[in-house]
Amino acid sequence: MIRMFRSRDSAEAIKLVDGEMATIKRVIQFTEFPVTVNYDTEGNVVAGIIKSPNEMLVAKVGQFICKESNGKISVCDYEQLIGKYEEVTEETAS
């Protein structure tokens, strides 16, 4: 689920919930960048969002990939999002 946050600026964010193919596909669709899935030294899943041949963002499970209104992509924790934006996600019926 894409979650909405706002301040004077707005941002959309998607949570990296796991390393499963469906999750990674959603991250790729959201960022429009290629994504790699690796493991850190402790065996935890991490996703690398390849912004260019020389720039990669790394997101750990539980972190959010954030797209600001100007198109900038970043990785942050939920606390950072709510510190900067008010969440305005609309729940959809299941």
Phi, psi of 5 (to 5 degrees): -135, 150
Q: What is the pTM of this model?
A: 0.81
Q: What is the pLDDT of residues 48-88, one digit of tens each?
A: 988 887 889 999 999 999 999 888 999 999 999 988 888 88
DSSP 54-82: TEEEEEETT-EEEEETTS-EEEE-HHHHH
